[in-house]
A and B are shown apart, each in its own frame.
Chain A
């Protein structure tokens, strides 16, 4: 590939893979920085684990990308039901960590069924809503039910953040399906209205988090500590940042959970506003690329699939950055591709692979 034009065309052709690679490189650099203490990388094993997960994810990507996306129509429903079974299973035999029952241990292989449930819902709801030729209330209700079933199971674990993901995906899918905007707005308003009543169903730690979000000084050394330190990290980064491996909040251990949910604080501290804006633009690029597929897709399934995946990425990245910056309450959502964690990474590349598959089909058709 000595021809630059050819190379650009190659990159464009597999653009969803290459954007993933850019994310993964940034993610590995951030992870490397977040794992150092006193000038040394501690927990090196985490670095290797993430590297292996990245390689596995790439394999997943190419496998999914090479499968015609129409194939998923056939197994969308069983796939969805399988994930529901896993969610039930995790409530019965799942590992309890940090006071929540979210992990399944399959002979040393630990993963989060809730992550898996997200993607199976994305495929499932896209399939269900693509069955009718035009908008129908019956199918709308089926879609709503499909969202609420895993949501309630995940809330039971409990994992508020992951449960919340189903809302925007469902909303966007229904909107594209043809649901009147008035209904969507009414539903959102109604949702906000019942929030005070929902308060009683929240766990104590969730209530605390919400209260601390409203006033971090309420508990500066406890629940408020993380958000306060995270804001200090982000704010102190300034325009240009303190430099890679030089974030004092990061390397002196002032940021808890900085290699998982709070990895964005490390990035914003070390690479500044430039870096933060850069990662946001990169997510925006991915979203725009995905929506472009939705525009051009020849069938309803592909359109809905592309929209759902885009909203999946948007919601994760937006909420993660907003929560580390203290603009929304802390709900445990990872930053796709960047946060440490195997399941999340594999699912993200799975979704990316689906987009690539749609792209392949569209590009071929032209």
Chain B
């Protein structure tokens, strides 16, 4: 083989190898570029979210019910040297054992470029002091974050709810809607229901880090946007009046505009201070609330289930009149009881001969037993369904219960028994299996007040500049005449000297209409006290429900409302 040939072979071998290597580089740099570019970005780009302040919550007259202040957290910068000194200094300043700070540090450590919070919520004075010594100890920083404040605490806690860090279960469900770990989120009340409006858009700081995770430069910064403010339908003054009257007695009072469904006041007792549920609060107090056997967290107004008792007679009367089973002149005789299959179904008095107006005024059980028998359970259920019994009202608060409207089918399926006539009698006076929430009972009263329209109750009116709720009304399908007669009965309950709500007659200048209820509760426990109605009776402005859990008698409910109305007059609210 000649020298030239050998050199040629050598040359083409080398050229061939270079071509192979070029193909390899082409593969890496051109074909796989996206993958490697992404990986290089993941190497050095770090994102730090900046929490957005939540929107404020205002009452209908623009008074603040929830807002944000600044909370100060002490943090240690992991990039700085002399962490040991920082622990020592902070232990002395905060008067906290050093190992607790170290434990917190190890628990909260995320990355070398994010300061680690070692103690939350220090007083402002202390925060300023630490800022002053930052010159000497650059490894210590004070971090500022928005913190929710509920200035009225237990007064509005069931309506507002509270915020806290998102839990794992919710995060799983809401991840696709942009929620992430360590986000604060609304729990219960308006805070939960309107969380997407309130939460705002978190800011994002993008930084470049080097191979050791140390910050090198700021790449971009997007400032957080505050969430939208909400304007409630609630009137703070009215809420306060109601609260002061209910305080100390388990139960619930709701006042609503009967025409629009705007809820003006919604108070439950027992209540709780929602400030205690914010992160960084006292865990012991929180635990005490959670363990309380009287369930202060329960929003009884929408989630408490009770027999409505005689307040259900409003529905019975309207149904019977609408169905044409009775008219205003139809009279039944009340001997004080009826006997059915050897069982005695009692009445409160011997009312003797009564028409529907008198029967509503006196709450005569026998009269409504008669209506029940004549209507039959299926008709009662039909009308009850039209009036929203056993269905959620659709109020814009989480956790509403639908209650229970019993019927033939229900009983067969759950108790495996047929429906007896005695069941119909119990249902006719709002007892037996029937369960309703106070807000359902309130709406029943509101239909009577507005002359036949079902309204959807709501508590939030505006979000920012937008109206998020507007009155939704639906004809209940019961004749106007029927409601006119029922209205007379409800007024009579107050105006008749022997009316069950006559105690309300003595309120100066404001005529009230309504129906009382004393509902049997559990055996051996006092009865629940109800009043549902509206005022002023002639041109209703407010519909109201008062419910007293184990309140013995409806009398106390009426008396409580009397106090409320008197205060409303005194404050010029009527």
Contacts and interface: CB of A to CB of B under 8 A. Distances in A.
Contact of A268 (B17, B25, B32, B39): B25
Interface string A285-320: 001100100110000000100010011001000100
A249 B40 contact: yes
A15 to B, nearest CB: 17
A88 B208 CA distance: 49
Interface in B25-42: 25-26, 28-30, 32-33, 35-37, 39-41
Contact of B37 (A37, A236, A295): A236
Given A303-B3, A325-B24, A268 B29 contact: yes
A358 B211 CA distance: 48
Contacts of A280: 18, 21-22, 25
Interface string A255-279: 0000000000000100011001100
A14 interface: no
Nearest to B4: A295
Contact of B28 (A178, A234, A295): A234
B210 interface: yes
Contacts of A236: 33, 36-37, 39-40
Contacts of B1: 178, 181
A232 interface: yes
For chain A, what secondary structure do more than half of its interface residues adopt (helix, strand, loop), or is it mixed?
Answer: helix
Contacts of A172: 10
A254 interface: yes
Interface in A106-149: none
B interface residue count range (under 10 / 10 to 19 / 20 to 34 / 35 or more):
35 or more
A325 B28 contact: yes
Given A38-B216, A252-B210, A280-B21, A232 B36 contact: yes
Contacts of A332: none
Nearest to B6: A176
A273 B30 contact: yes
B208 A252 contact: yes
Contacts of B25: 234, 268, 273, 276-277, 280, 321, 325
Interface in B8-24: 9-11, 14-15, 17-18, 21-22, 24
A284 B18 contact: yes
B337 interface: no
A195 to B, nearest CB: 20
Contacts of B9: 175, 181
Interface in B325-379: none
Contacts of A283: 18
> Quick one: which of B10, B208, B209, B216 has the most chain A CB within 10 A?
B10
B473 interface: no
> Quick one: which of A236, A280, A303 has the most chain B CB within 10 A?
A236
B40 A239 contact: no
Interface string A196-222: 000000000000000000000000000
Contacts of A102: none
B7 interface: yes
For chain B, what secondary structure do more than half of its interface residues adopt (helix, strand, loop), or is it mixed?
Answer: helix
A118 B40 CA distance: 37
A252 B216 contact: yes
B294 interface: no
Contact of B15 (A237, A284, A294, A322): A284
B44 interface: yes
A291 B44 contact: no
Contacts of B212: 253
A232 B39 contact: yes
Interface string B240-270: 0000000000000000000000000000000
B43 interface: yes
Given A252-B208, A252-B210, A273 B26 contact: yes
Contact of B209 (A175, A252, A307): A252
Interface in A4-38: 37-38
Nearest to A135: B1
B40 A232 contact: yes
> Quick one: which of B7, B11, B24, B212 has the most chain A CB within 10 A?
B7
Contacts of B39: 232, 235-236
Interface string B189-230: 000000000000000000011111000110000000000000
Contacts of B217: 38
B33 A235 contact: yes
Contacts of A37: 210
Contacts of A273: 25-26, 29-30
A233 interface: yes
A120 to B, nearest CB: 22
A43 interface: no
Contacts of B29: 234-235, 237-239, 268, 272-273, 276
B43 A253 contact: no
Given A252-B216, A280-B22, A284-B18, A291 B36 contact: no
A254 B211 contact: yes
A181 B1 CA distance: 10
A276 B10 CA distance: 23
A325 B32 CA distance: 13
A321 B21 contact: yes
A235 B22 contact: no
B357 to A, nearest CB: 85
19 contacts: A172-B10, A176-B10, A178-B1, A229-B43, A236-B40, A238-B30, A248-B44, A249-B43, A252-B208, A252-B211, A253-B211, A273-B26, A284-B14, A284-B18, A294-B7, A314-B14, A321-B25, A325-B21, A325-B25
**6 tightest CB-CB pairs across the interface, nearest first?**
A235-B36, A236-B40, A273-B29, A238-B33, A236-B36, A253-B211
